[in-house]
A and B are shown apart, each in its own frame.
Chain A
Amino acid sequence: MSGADLITLSLLIPVLGAVGIAAASKFGPNVRESATMITAGLLAWTVWSLVPEVMQGGRPSLMVSQIAPGIEIAFKVEPLGMLFAALASSLWIVNSIYSIGYMRGNNEKHQTRFYIFFAVSLAAAIGIAFADNLFTLFLFYEILTLSTYPLVSHKGDEKTIRSARVYLGILLTTSIGLLLPAIIWVHVTAGTGTFAPGGILEGKISGPAVGLLLGLFVFGVGKAAVMPVHRWLPAAMVAPTPVSALLHAVAVVKAGVFTVTKVIIYIFGIEFLFAEPSSSWLVFAAAFTIITASVVALRQQNLKRLLAYSTVAQLSYVVMATAILKPLSEIGAAVHIVAHAFGKITLFFAAGAIYTAAKKTELHQLKGIARRMPWTMAAFTVGALSMIGVPPTAGFVSKWYILAGAFQADNYVAIAAIIASTALNAAYFLPIVYMAWFLKEDTPPAKEHGEAPFAAVLALTITAFLTLAFFFFNGPVLKLEGQLVQGLS
């Protein structure tokens, strides 16, 4: 099959899957969940089939339609998008296994709707990953925002609706208010919005305007959650945990930092931006977000909210790494997208498993819980270590590259931020680990419980394993992303 066919398939499979899930729901939940699993499996297979070609430097592309002169729906697979698509589609399989355990274990309503919109969200994420120009990217970005709204507002009660309103409000406000003007600005000045290695803006725009345009992009992509547009992420935690796990630790938020990274590499161009002093604010903004979000996380009592703020901080790692504008740090940004995904999805799976089995959501309730749920808490510990960046976990690899890039650029702000946040991460994750393993339960639970349903435990074990394995087997990812910075010093 040619690359173009594979791109078409990987966009169509989740959409057809959504239709299939709707049709299959008539035959009971087992058939419906099989439809989800088959869709996820097929999607991952299709996306992975693209990998060999991209590894060898190929760039499969697909032109769908021209909407107006200069505005096209077109796709092209490059290393960064390949990585993001492979990551999202693979973790969808694991997440689907987990969803079955979680959704049934908690007797959630409207499960069909849940699985349908999940599949649509995945299609949107793949669209973002493979987009060849700003318009296509924006199109799928908005589809992702809208298709996750029913997932966030899943519960449908007053509080959920209010949080969902914040979610949608911030994401749509930033995208319509800042991102769209930024995209049109690029179109008007450069005459095109197509991503090109080395950027398309060099010589077309200069001075403070560059910093301003960069700001429109960074804050317009609300999904990247750079402060002060991060509020939607804690708000999104009202969603069922599988949504938080795959979408708000991987697909949606990574779509945000992916967009920022892609814009910096393929629209501005690393070297052009490095030579332009008005763009240097971004490192400060990201560093500020890392530190502030970590401090806020320190003060959280609710486990999912803590994880949300931790995500805000970790996303800014990627933004900051990109903003250092050195080859090693760009690789670090790409690797961190993967490393953080493995770690954070594990943590969310664990949080959801605790909720399913014990109905516990607050930190102080977790004392001694590891004795009842050893697998879950072991996975949680692995995830937490990866967040801090302790070897042998995935988090160490990316932090290494980001630091190396920061030293290459003599960027002491970035170095200081990384060191400080490592300490802060340890300060809010280690007490939880300590409580869970070494303290005794205050009061016995109202109902005896052990581990969460098998499907959930299986999923979180897989992702914890991936977190560890990535420390040892990260060669292919580094090789793939090395193509991003070929020819740069």
Chain B
Amino acid sequence: MTYLSHHLPALQVIVPMLTAPLVLLLKPDGLARLATTAASALAFAIAIAMTMGVLDGHTYTYRMGGWPAPYGIELAVDQFSALLLLVVTGASTFALLAGQRSVDADIDSSRQPLFYAAWLLALAGLSGIPISADAFNIFVFMEISSLASYVIIAGGPDRRALPAVFKYLIMGTVGATFYLIGIGLIYLMTGTLNMADMELRIHEVGDQKPILVAAGFITVGLALKAAVFPLHVWLPNAYTYAPNTVTVFLAACSTKVSLYLLMRFDFFVFQGNLAGHDMQFAAFLMPLAVLAILVGSAVALFEKNIKRLLAYSSIAQIGYIVLGVSFVTIAGLTASAVHIFNHALAKGALFLTVCCFATQCTGLRLTDLGGIARRMPWTAGALVVSGFSLLGIPGTAGFISKWYLIVAAFEQGPLGMALIAVIVVSSLMAVVYIWRIVEAIYFGESTIDLSAVREAPAAMLIVTWIAALANIYFGVVPEIPVSLSISAADTLLEHLP
């Protein structure tokens, strides 16, 4: 292994984090944007390089400052974290590449360096969570990413973003504090913060009440951050009123990082040591997942604003991921992990098309967008393709995760049949809400004057179409996400007794 590749895990966080203060110094001539995009692209490249590494069966560990674990802070990258890193850095890079026009429209040019600096901090925090093996370090990364996300969400011109972000801040902080209480209790009982070490030591005290309480706090806290139903109320408004570029970035990855952490914590630390902990999933998370799937889809049926509609669809999709986890089987965990990737692809591409619409059209209600496909045929085409992926039409990425999820449900016996019915019903609701958009943009009549609307700028369109076509590519050649997910599921389950 070369010297550089040894340092990749650290660079993954350091690159965006050190570029952030640098960006502040750049006067707005597009330089700030350029530096941010470059840093994000570099982070994406690092993530790809590490993915290549883990696909070859290599796992990265890195000791910060040379201190050995469990005393020092350890960074570790395995298949599951590589999958998350791809999603996080990829979403950021695509959003930045496409978002120039959108950011110019939403944010005053004098404040753009601040905006981009916060963006990079959010990126650093979100990519820090999957690579860190230290529970407290993860808390710090979580708060870096959250605080920076609040800033970029509130950065737009829509004043409704402010109360939305305030709600997000309150709920997010409560979630993070719950997590902090949880690891505090574990530290109290085991005296360690390193997750691998925790797994070993918790065994001796697994029957003690504080550990049980810690499991509860951590699960609820992370579920809050991950917007698991019914703790999702912060999400729709935050996504709807955020600047469009920010929605692309955060909708694709922010909740998934928390879900990742939830899976990791519950499987690595608790599952093997707490008797009956898997019941927590079957009895507690599964019903919530089912409700999330049904309620999220049902609300999306009636939403009038396209961003809100997609935000509620995200709540349902988070439900799919949690449902897969709640089976506690290889197939279920594979389905969840692969859906983390595939949903990011589909939803990211969909929000990119929204971003394109928003640069050309003043309103984002379905009635405002009536017939806009005649003016912006390419954007509309990309929306249809990524919409197919969200529905799980075969040949798109969304189908792969749906396939794995239904296979996993089949293994559950009679209960699985009922769950398949739930998945099917919600897929059909997805057909309806996606088709509402499609009918509106192709056949509707707009309430506002669209005669001046032109197709989105070529640069945006190209990025959007790359994202849309990625949905088809990973639907036909899904080897990379699937093999990462299968290894992720294996690793998670290995830690069970």
Contacts and interface: CB of A to CB of B under 8 A. Distances in A.
Interface of A: 65, 67-68, 71, 73, 135, 138-139, 142-143, 146, 153, 156, 161, 165, 168-169, 172-173, 176-177, 180-181, 184-185, 187-188
B117 to A, nearest CB: 42
Contact of B407 (A65, A73, A138, A188): A188
A153 B476 contact: no
B428 to A, nearest CB: 6
B480 to A, nearest CB: 12
Given A188-B410, A188-B411, 20 more contacts: A65-B476, A67-B475, A67-B476, A68-B403, A68-B404, A68-B478, A135-B394, A138-B394, A146-B393, A153-B443, A161-B443, A165-B435, A165-B439, A172-B431, A176-B424, A177-B425, A177-B428, A180-B406, A180-B424, A187-B407
Contacts of B482: 68
Most chain B beta carbons < 10 A, residue from A168, A172, A176, A188: A176
Contacts of B400: 67-68
Q: Which has the most chain A C-beta neighbours within 10 Å: B402, B404, B411, B439?
A: B439
In this complex, the member of A73, A142, A168, A185 whose beta carbon has the largest number of chain B beta carbons within 10 angstroms is A142
Instruction: Give the 10 A-B residue pairs with the shortest CB-CB distance, closest first.
Output: A139-B394, A188-B410, A177-B424, A184-B406, A176-B427, A139-B395, A172-B431, A161-B443, A142-B393, A142-B394
Contacts of B435: 165, 168
Contacts of B407: 184, 187-188
B477 interface: yes
Contacts of A185: 410
A146 B406 contact: no
B116 interface: no
A29 to B, nearest CB: 20
Contacts of A165: 435, 439
A173 B431 CA distance: 8
Interface string B420-456: 1000110110011001000100010000000000000
Contact of A142 (B395, B439, B478): B395
Nearest to B423: A181
Interface string B353-396: 00000000000000000000000000000000000100111110
A73 B420 contact: no
Contacts of A67: 400, 475-478
Contacts of A187: 407
Contact of A156 (B393, B428, B443, B478): B443
Contacts of A139: 394-395
Nearest to B475: A67
A65 B394 contact: no
B471 to A, nearest CB: 14
Interface residues of B, number: 29
A135 B394 CA distance: 8
A71 B476 contact: no
A71 B395 CA distance: 12
A172 to B, nearest CB: 5
A146 B388 contact: yes
Nearest to B444: A161
A387 B161 CA distance: 65
A176 B392 contact: yes
Contacts of B476: 65, 67, 73
A379 B287 CA distance: 61
A176 B420 CA distance: 11
Contacts of A181: 406, 420, 424
Most buried by A among B394, B424, B428: B394
A73 B400 CA distance: 13
B72 to A, nearest CB: 40
A139 B400 CA distance: 12
A165 B392 CA distance: 19
Contacts of A143: 395
Nearest to B406: A184
A73 B394 CA distance: 11
A161 B388 contact: no
A73 B392 CA distance: 17
Contact of A71 (B388, B403, B425, B427): B403
A168 B395 CA distance: 18
Nearest to A161: B443
A138 B428 CA distance: 17
Contacts of B432: 169
Contacts of A142: 393-395
A156 B370 CA distance: 13
B410 A176 contact: no
A181 B406 CA distance: 7
A74 to B, nearest CB: 13
A260 to B, nearest CB: 19
27 contacts: A67-B475, A68-B478, A68-B482, A71-B403, A73-B476, A142-B393, A142-B394, A142-B395, A146-B393, A153-B443, A165-B435, A165-B439, A173-B428, A176-B391, A176-B427, A177-B425, A177-B428, A180-B424, A181-B406, A181-B420, A181-B424, A184-B403, A184-B406, A184-B407, A188-B407, A188-B410, A188-B411
A303 to B, nearest CB: 27
Contacts of A153: 443
Contacts of B395: 139, 142-143
B170 to A, nearest CB: 39
B445 to A, nearest CB: 10
A185 B413 CA distance: 12
A187 B478 CA distance: 19
A169 B420 CA distance: 19
A153 B444 CA distance: 13
A68 B394 CA distance: 13
Nearest to B384: A146
A156 B403 CA distance: 34
Interface string B20-42: 00000000000000000000000
A142 to B, nearest CB: 5
Contacts of B420: 181
Contacts of A161: 439, 443
B385 to A, nearest CB: 11
A73 B475 CA distance: 11
Interface in B112-132: none
Contacts of B443: 153, 156, 161
Nearest to B416: A188
A139 B428 CA distance: 17
Nearest to A141: B394
Nearest to B371: A156
A161 B441 CA distance: 13
A67 to B, nearest CB: 6
Contacts of B410: 184-185, 188
A177 B3 CA distance: 53
A139 B472 CA distance: 12
B465 to A, nearest CB: 16
B439 to A, nearest CB: 6
Most B CB atoms within 10 A — which of A67, A156, A185? A67
B415 to A, nearest CB: 15
Contacts of B428: 172-173, 176-177
Contacts of B411: 188
Nearest to B405: A184
A348 B428 CA distance: 33
Contacts of B475: 67
A84 B411 CA distance: 36
Contacts of A173: 428, 431
A172 B435 CA distance: 11
